[in-house]
Structure 1
Amino acid sequence: MHPRSTVNKDALVQAVAEASGLSKADADNALKATVDAITATVAGGDKIVIPGLGTFEPRDRAAREGRNPQSGETIQIAATTVPGFKPATAFKNAVAGK
């Protein structure tokens, strides 16, 4: 198995620019607007479904007991809402090489 590489934002912007015919600046603005819209929607309690990619949604995490790793002391971890992502079948299949 070969090591995986990480694609940074600049490389993603370049790929979007090339695939869409947008300038690099316009692709950067489009990516930023997309991320901002997803963030604001999920932070507002709604979910976003992007066919072929997946669903971004807020998920409630219940309060629970945990342990302080330094002291071993039991602590209470408060309930919180976290962002969640569920990949679409097409996305999962593409990653799996199917």
Structure 2
Amino acid sequence: MDTVACLPTLDGLRAHVLKVLCDHERLDPSQTPLHEAVVTRSRRPCGLFFQVHGPRLVKAYAVWAGEEDRVLFYDSTGQRFAQTRLSDGPDPLRLAS
């Protein structure tokens, strides 16, 4: 599934990632915490790694590649199942602040 979205804020990006991951794994977004970590390249922030944990050891994750303006989604088996291209996305350099 490839989509295009306008997500100019980090909060909007987080909400989109949580919805896509939970929809795919049939998890309740209100009951599923979203974990995240900053991805760096040459000591500069360049994106975010997101992960959700569900029952039965279900773990799905997404990677926001800020410089490429896209989010890649992976299921609990490690297979990529979706991609969202961002027509407008957050500035990855603001992650450092």
TM-score interval for Structure 1 and Structure 2 normalised by the shorter chain:
under 0.3
Length-normalised TM-score, structure 2: 0.28
- Larger proportion of helix: 1
Greater Rg by CA: 1
